[in-house]
Chains A and B, each alone.
Chain A
């Protein structure tokens, strides 16, 4: 029987990503990865795109991974794992292996939204039995906080710097979760480490579904967000409560919002504690602040309607 999803029981389990890695203090990513792997009792094989998580967990001669782990280049965590997963299926078919093994690809938003999108899309379309987990911190943090297509509207980064010509990033985020849903794969979900039980339930559910699955998980980065080092969980909670990062799942085309905040907080609650949005509170950028709120409202509203629209018809 699977370990019950209680903190007491989970705390007895061995971490599959051990401490001693070199991720920055207060980084959200290792917390997310630990939760994902703690959620399941199955043996897991992981692949990793280039990024903070990869470079900081395999410092020469050492590894923080207590599981088989493979890294190739930046753009191909999904393709590399496709190869591993196919080999596993082949060996299973040949009767050379009988163990049930689960496959997880981890990538940051740069390696997933941008350069890795092609290989991710290919893996999902071919139908490999794997979960792709994107830990989304909204920029290329590993190389020095350059914008990515996951960087939120208005954010200051080193390649969309705030100045007289530019009020930070002028484009909206790419809605990757929805792009993955459009692949028609059996399971797509969005999660946050602030809602750990919700996150782990989603991982569990995904593991029980055959075929390709995608999880997008918010992972605050205090270096890039210019927030306090003890704020990762708080900020991810505010992201959920402002509906900037809604928690939902799309299972076989049915959308379900897994957490609806009792009171939807204003987006400024999420933006204010982050230095990357500091300039938005200058009078000349009020329009951008407004636009950012409008984008969140529009997406949340669409999600609510989508949930209603896709709900199974009652008898």
Chain B
């Protein structure tokens, strides 16, 4: 297979089309504009539908509608736009509808700026909308993963009947690098017999998130929580680099893991015992795996924010060992040199 040079946003859009996405609704916001632009040009060729909505709220609700009809549906945005989508995400979870939501994070809060950031970790993994819900959250760190995980998002959304978020950032969205356009292989997935496809010859299907009967909603929540437990059991993904003999493990995801990797490589060349733990899923979080590593090792969480995932690392480690943090907020970038100094000082 030949490697093809692609831009992050375009890789996401093309991977989605190849994974059988048949419905995309979006709205302009930097730095994810190439996704709707690419979709507008290529969805018609793929027999799919592109709609530019009048707002992010409209886009997520269009996805709700298309998904209810059984289509593989997707929307994308960047941080302020994802804030506007929160109502729809809560409803998708409540109604158990699969959908793929891409967030190419930018600096916040408020209008913030348009550079890469990881400030939406809490929003993505703790539930930015109302109600007790969880979303599967994938955190790619290069364009190959952006491609592969986009495809995975659709499968997991269908498997669990739940919205799945691809949590990228402005750097991954805008950078170009060569990738293998791995062909999509559809796994065996449950049939969408819940979809609203016209009820001629069968009982009508009902898709809703309103449960007013006595105890009804509690029952619904139990079902949802059981699903989230199953996801926690089966869907954790992470990778590690040189963690066996280390004293200090850097925990980082997405673009900050990439920065960390460069710093760690340099330290390793100098004989320093440093390794990298990179969660690929942020929910479910690899908490057991981190806990098992916590014997005689210290951690340093590195994020492009003021410290969000570090809370989950501390929960996982639960006081067994020290968890340090280094991060920069507001769309500021950490350089490998800067991180090299920080890790070196902590050793």
How distant is B136 from chain A, measured CB to nearest CB, in Å?
28
Query: Which residues of chain B have C-beta atoms less than 8 A from A110's C-beta?
Result: 28
With a CB–CB cut-off of 8 A, which chain A residues contact B55? 75, 114-115
A115 / chain B contacts, CB cutoff of 8 Å: 27, 54-56
Cβ of B52 under 8 Å from chain A: yes
Answer yes or no: A176 CB below 8 A from chain B CBs: no
Per the 8 Å Cβ criterion, residues 221-239 of A in contact with B are none
**In the complex, are the beta carbons of B80 and A73 less than 8 A apart?**
yes
| Chain B 30-62 interface 0/1 with A at a Cβ cutoff of 8 Å (1 = within) | 100100110011001100001010111000000
A24-32, A155-163, A296-304 - the one binding chain B: A155-163
The residues of B that contact A143 with a CB separation of less than 8 Å are: 28-30, 33
Pairwise interchain contact A147-B52, C-beta atoms closer than 8 A: yes
Give the complex CA separation of A114 and B52 in angstroms: 11
Q: Is A140 an interface position by the 8 A CB rule? A: yes
Closest-by-CB residue of A relative to B84 is A75
CB neighbours (8 Å) of A75 from chain B are 55, 84
Q: Do residues A117 and B33 form an inter-chain contact, with CB atoms below 8 A?
A: no
- CB neighbours (8 Å) of A50 from chain B are 111
**What is the bound-complex CA distance between A169 and B41, given in angstroms?**
12
Q: Distance in Å from the Cβ of A169 to the closest Cβ of chain B? A: 10
Interface residues of A in 153-175 (CB under 8 A from B): 158-161, 163, 165-166
In Å, the complex CA distance between A114 and B111 comes to 18
Decide: B40 and A159 in contact? CB cutoff 8 A: yes
Which residues, 51 to 106 on B, are CB-close (under 8 Å) to A?
52, 54-56, 80, 84
A166 (CB) vs chain B CBs: closest residue: B44
Min C-beta distance of A167 to chain B, whole Å: 12
CA gap between A147 and B30 in the complex, in Å: 15
Chain B residue numbers with a CB within 8 Å of A74 are: 80
In the complex formed, the residue of B with least CB distance to A60 is B113
| A149 located at the interface, meaning its Cβ lies under 8 Å from any Cβ of chain B in the complex | yes
A144 contacts the other chain (CB 8 A): yes
> In the complex, A165 Cα to B50 Cα: how many Å?
12
Q: Is the CB of A163 within 8 A of B28?
A: no
Residues of B within 8 A of A63 (CB): none
Partner of B44, one of A114, A158, A165: A165
Is the pair B40, A161 in contact by a Cβ cutoff of 8 Å?
yes
Whether the Cβ atoms of B37 and A158 lie closer than 8 Å is: yes
Across-interface contacts of B110 in A (CB, < 8 A): 73
- Residue numbers in B under 8 Å from A161 (CB-CB): 37, 40-41
Contact digits for B2-31, partner A, Cβ 8 Å, 1 yes 0 no: 000000000000000000000000011110
Q: Which residues of B contact A149 (CB under 8 A)?
A: 54
CA A114 to CA B54, docked complex, whole Å: 5
With A73-B111, A161-B40 known to touch, is A144 a contact of B28 (CB < 8 Å)? yes
A146 interfacial by beta-carbon distance below 8 Å: yes
Residues of A102-151 at the interface with B, using a CB-CB cut-off of 8 Å, are: 110, 114-115, 117, 140, 143-144, 146-147, 149
Do residues A144 and B37 form an inter-chain contact, with CB atoms below 8 A?
yes
Q: In chain A, what residue has the closest Cβ to B83?
A: A73
9 pairs of A and B residues whose beta carbons are closest in the complex:
A143-B28, A114-B54, A165-B44, A115-B55, A146-B28, A159-B40, A140-B28, A158-B37, A159-B52
Chain A residues proximal to chain B, CB less than 8 Å: 50, 71, 73-75, 110, 114-115, 117, 140, 143-144, 146-147, 149, 158-161, 163, 165-166
5 contacts between A and B (CB under 8 A): A73-B111, A147-B52, A159-B50, A159-B52, A160-B40
Beyond the given pairs A117-B54, A143-B30, A159-B36, 4 more chain A to chain B contacts, judged by CB atoms under 8 angstroms and listed by A's residue number, are A73-B111, A115-B56, A143-B33, A144-B28
